Structure 1
Amino acid sequence: MKGFALDIAIAPKAERPFPAREILWGSQDGGQNRFPTSRAAWERKYSNDPIPLEKFGAAVANAQERVWIVDEYLLMSDKGKGSPTDRVDRILMWLPLSLAASDIRLLTKQHQEVTEGDLKKFQQRARAISNHVARREKECRIEIRTHLTRECDFIHDRFAIVDDELWHFGGTAGGFHAAVSAASRGWRAADHGAFDFFEEIWNVGERE
């Protein structure tokens, strides 16, 4: 008897809906789509715990391929509003063990206040993510390079690429800044040369 194989049709990979464009302002509620009142702005400015943008944290946690961030002060809290360790712990909350993305790159500048122990937490999280799923397709890699102002001293704003979506921040990436600032999302990164720009400035520095 001749063997036979079932002809099973494999459905093409479903394309996820692309996020709509929107502008988000920082607030103690995790972000909002309009300017805060002056009273709310003052309360946030003097808060010891400015809440980052929940929508950005959710976008990172649900990333399927990549999370690339450019921000010279990403790992530094505002003066008097926590330590670099606090900031690192906040960022790690965006990277759950169930994270599907495998290419995490953080491009910032070197700060003496950020300790080796703080940076090691990212590698510990990468290993934990990789080990969380027994047959993960790709090993999760979290890389941090600190040459931003040393080798690329021409960037003012902050940016992030989450999968194919470009985010732009007027303040600290992720919406940590205590003063009134906004972020925009919903831009296709490829349409604006974001991938090429990031790769160019990333490759200027050596791996830390």
Structure 2
Amino acid sequence: MKRSPFQGSEPALQVRNPKPSTTFHGEPELLWASIPEDYSTRESDTELAPKYPLIKKRSKHYDSGPLGLKTFWEKIASSRRLWILDTHFGSKNLLFLRDQMELAPALSDFHLITAEKNVRKTFKSIRKILEEKHRLVADATFGVTEIDRHDFPYLHDRFAVTDDELWHFGGTVGCLQAAMTAVSRGWDARERHFISLFEEIRKLHNLEGALRQ
């Protein structure tokens, strides 16, 4: 459900962001989260499986970054929509993602589905920042859905959508983990029916909540 337009202290000049294209044009590719060949501790994505010493060095120094997927952050920076389905995406991950979202001037549609607890509490302060930043965008919407693992035990893989591009992560979205991890990208999220699946999960969660009341 769309939220009401945000009300700022200024006159109500409302801007409506263009919707993501209904047809995504791109080629699927596989990317690995890694570090450079010189072993410096910074993000360096690769299309080939990284060498084992690089995997060990990245894992050892992961927390200095953290060392995620550079390509994903760059895509978020130019996207209007960011949807994430990752039942293990916790508060620590969300706080790092906040810094990336603040660098995205057009990002006015964000939603996360997770099974981690207290993420909504962490998101409250982030939401205020995003709402203020996009208060003149009539259809801006930001939210977190905390599902119950007992109600949704069959959700396993992790996914993200930037505009209409679907990403399939082997681990935490954004490759935010110390262990070796890779991601497939370049899929049309609508064509693969992920947009409708994401919306259905949110509706089912709301229904489960209503039935418990």
The normalised TM-score by structure 2 is 0.74
Give the match for residue 177 of structure 2: 177
Q: Which runs of 5+ in 1 are unaligned?
A: 1-12, 77-83
Q: Give, as a single letter, the amino acid of the residue that structure 1 aligns with 2:158.
A: R
Q: Which runs of 5+ in 2 are unaligned?
A: 1-18, 36-42
Give the match for residue 10 of structure 2: none
- Report how far residue 19 of structure 1 moved: 3.6
> How many pairs are equivalent?
179
- Report how far residue 188 of structure 1 moved: 0.6
CA deviations 1:1-25 (Å, max 9, x no partner) are xxxxxxxxxxxx9x79834321111
Give the match for residue 50 of structure 2: 36
Counterparts of 1:168 and 1:125 in 2: how far apart (Å)? 28
Counterparts of 2:163 and 2:56 in 1: how far apart (Å)? 34
- Report how far residue 125 of structure 1 moved: 2.3
- Report how far residue 119 of structure 1 moved: 1.9
Taking only the aligned residue pairs, the percentage that are identical comes to 28
Select 1:62's aligned residue among 78, 90, 96: 78
Q: Structure 2 vs 1, CA of residues 148 and 69 (structure 1 numbering), >3 Å: closer, same or farther?
A: farther
Give the match for residue 4 of structure 1: none
Aligned residue for 1:145, secondary structure, equals strand
Select 1:72's aligned residue among 74, 87, 92: 87
Equivalent pair of 2:24/2:164 in contact (CA under 8 Å) = no
Work out which of the two has the higher radius of gyration on C-alpha atoms and give 1 or 2.
1
Counterparts of 2:27 and 2:105 in 1: how far apart (Å)? 22
Equivalent pair of 1:145/1:206 in contact (CA under 8 Å) = no
Select 2:34's aligned residue among 23, 27, 48: 27
CA deviations 1:45-93 (Å, max 9, x no partner) are 22233411111111122113x21100012225xxxxxxx2xx3331012
Counterparts of 2:45 and 2:142 in 1: how far apart (Å)? 26
Equivalent pair of 1:164/1:188 in contact (CA under 8 Å) = yes
CA RMSD of aligned residues (A): 2.6
The normalised TM-score by structure 1 is 0.75
Segments ≥4 residues shifted beyond 4 Å: none
Counterparts of 1:174 and 1:115 in 2: how far apart (Å)? 19
Alignment pair present for 1:160 and 2:174: no
